[in-house]
Amino acid sequence: MSKKDLLQREEYVKLLESLIDNKIQNRKGFSFAIDGSWGCGKSFILGMLEKKLSNKDYLVIHYNCWDNDFYKEPLIAILSTIIDKLNNIDLPETEENKQKRNKIIIALNFLKKLLFMIVKNKFGVDFEKLGINLDELKNTAVETIDADKKPLLSNDLDNNLSIKQTIKDIREQLLGLQLEWKGIVLIVDELDRCLPNYAISVLERLHHICFDTDNDEFRFIQLLAINKKELSDSIYKAFGKAITAGDDKPIHDGIQTFADYYLQKFIQLIIPVPAGILSNDPLAILDGFENEFFGIKDSYRNFVEDFISSVMSGFSMRSKIELVNHTKMVHQLTLINNTNLHKPFIGILAVELVDCMYRFLLKRERPQLDYGKIEVGEMKQNIVVFWLDPSTVPQYAPNKIDYLDSAKLKEWSQTPIDGIIPEYDGGGVNFDASNYPENYMKFFYISNKSRVKPFNTGLQRDYISFVDAFRKTLDIIAPL
C-alpha cells in the first residue's frame, strides 16, 4: 500500500524538521521524543521526517528496536544498524565525495571489527567455524585507521572488551562522520513494544552513545518514538519503587511520576502526537482498492465511507490500513484461484470489509442478522440489523486497544423491515434486499438461525458465488 498522508501530518513533521534544523544550526545535540498511542502513526511520521532530512544532507540512522530485540545486548543491534546504514550509502564517485567516501570506509572497517569482537568476547562465537578470518579483518581495519587506534584493535578488543570503551569508540566514529554531513540524526522507533528490561537497556546504551559525559552535552540529534504510558509501565516494572530523590524520600506518588523522573536524563523534550485530521476523502485509505469493483454509485460510496469513518472509529489508523491490506490480499487470491469469477459489484466491498474486520482484527466469527425495534418519534419501528447483543458494550480486539463500537455498527446496518412473516411460516420479518446498500449487503449475513428473510434480492448468481469463494479463501488464510 502506498504511503499516503491520510491524517495530514505534514505540519507536524515540519515542526520536527524545524526543531532539528535549529539545533544543528546552533551546533547542539538534542534528545527528544514524540509520544502517541499504538497505531497513531508514529512510524509513518518518522518515515516522512527521515525522507525530508535525507534530502537535506543529514545522515539519518533509523534504529527499529522491535525488529532487533532478538539481540540480548542492544549494543550489537545498534552497531549492526549503523553498519547497515553506512553500507547502503551510495555516493557518486566524484572528487567532491572522495573525503566522505574515505570516512565511510574507515568507519565501516572499524565498526565491523568492533562488532565482531563484541560477539566473540561477550558471547563466545567461534568465527573460524563460520568461515570468518578475524585476524585478516583486524589487519585490514588497522591499516585503514589512524595510528592512535591501532593499540585499541590489537589489544583491548582481543582481550576483555569493555562496554564503556566500545560506546566511546562508536561515538568517536560518529563524530568523525558528522563532519561530512549537515548533522547526524538517530531515529529510534518501536521502543515501547520491547520487553521492559530490554527497553531500559536500549535507552541507556543510546544515551551513552549520544551523550558526552566529559562535556555534559548531547553530540547528536536523537529522536525516539514512544508510547509514554507503555514505556512508563516498562520502567516501573524494571525498577519498581526503589529509586528515591534525596534523603531517601520517594520521588513519586504513581507510575507516571516515577517514569518522568527516570526519563528526564534521557529525553529533554516530549512532543505529543496530535490526533490528526482525517483526509476529506475517507476512501483514500483504500488506495485505489475500490477500483477493483464496478458500479460505484454515490449511495454505495457513502455506505463504505460511513463504515470506515464511523463503524471503525475505535480502531487506530494502523489497524484500518491493516484491514484494507488483508481484505485486498484475500480479494486478489480469490480471483487468482477462481478464474471463472469476474470483477464484482461495489456492494461486495462492504461485505469483504466486515468479514475481514471480524476475522483479522476482532478474531471472531462474522455477525448474524436479527431484527428489533427502535424509537422513531413516539412510535417503535421494526428494523433489520446486525444484532450483536442487547447492550452496546464495545467489542475489544485482542490487542486491548482497538474496539468495535457495537452501537455504531447497529446504526450503520439498520434498515426498516418490509413485512412480517406469519408464525405458521416460521415467524420473523422480511426485507427488500435490492432497495438499499445496507439491505444488499445484509443478504450475505443471513443464516439458518436468522429470523430475517430477504425477498426481491436482485442479486446475480455471480455475486453470490464471489462471496462464497471469498469466504472460503478467508477460512484458509485466517482460520479461527
Which distant-in-sequence residues (6+ apart) come within 8 Å of 445 by Cβ? 354, 366, 367, 368, 369, 386
Please identify which residue in the block is written with the cell numbers 426498516. 416
Distance between CA 316 and CA 44 in Å, rounded? 13
The pLDDT assigned to 160 comes to: 39
DSSP secondary-structure letter at 194? S
Which cell is 396 given?
475489544
pLDDT tens for the chain, 480 residues: list them.
Answer: 445 655 567 888 888 999 999 899 888 899 999 998 877 778 888 999 999 999 999 999 999 988 877 667 788 889 999 999 999 998 888 887 888 889 999 999 889 888 877 776 665 555 555 555 555 544 554 444 444 444 433 333 344 357 778 888 899 999 999 999 999 999 999 887 888 888 888 999 999 999 988 888 999 999 999 988 888 887 877 776 544 444 554 444 466 777 788 888 899 999 888 765 555 667 788 888 988 998 877 778 888 888 988 898 888 888 888 899 899 999 998 988 888 888 898 889 999 999 999 999 999 988 877 776 655 556 566 666 665 444 567 888 888 888 898 888 888 887 777 778 777 777 777 877 776 777 788 888 887 777 787 876 666 677 889 999 999 999 998 888
DSSP H stretches of helix in 42-97 = 42-54, 74-87
Helix (H) or strand (E) holding 415: strand 415-416
DSSP secondary-structure letter at 360? I
The pLDDT assigned to 300 comes to: 81
Are the CB atoms for 457 and 443 separated by under 8 Å? yes
The pLDDT assigned to 467 comes to: 94
Among left, alpha and beta (phi > 0; psi -120 to 50; other), residue 73 is beta
CA distances from 382 to 31, 373, 374 (A): 60, 4, 7
Distance between CA 46 and CA 344 in Å, rounded? 37
Domains and CATH numbers, the chain: 10-272 (3.40.50.300), 282-477 (no CATH)
Task: Dump the DSSP string for 147-190.
Answer: GGGHHIIIIITTS---HHHHHHHHHHHHHHHHTTSSEEEEEEE-
Distance between CA 202 and CA 258 in Å, rounded? 19
Distance between CA 224 and CA 189 in Å, rounded? 6
CA distances from 379 to 108, 236, 376, 385, 386 (A): 77, 55, 5, 18, 21
Distance between CA 464 and CA 458 in Å, rounded? 11
- Widest CA span of the chain, in angstroms? 99
Helix (H) or strand (E) holding 394: none
Bridge-based pairing state of the strands 58-64 and 30-35:
unpaired
Distance between CA 455 and CA 358 in Å, rounded? 27
CA 66 to chain centre: 11
Are the CB atoms for 233 and 252 separated by under 8 Å? no
Helix (H) or strand (E) holding 381: strand 379-386
The pLDDT assigned to 33 comes to: 93
Give the helix, strand, coil percentages of the chain, each rounded to 5. 50, 15, 35
Taking CA 208 as the corner, what is the angle to CA 207 and CA 211, rounded to the nearest 5 degrees? 75
Query: pTM for the full model?
Result: 0.60
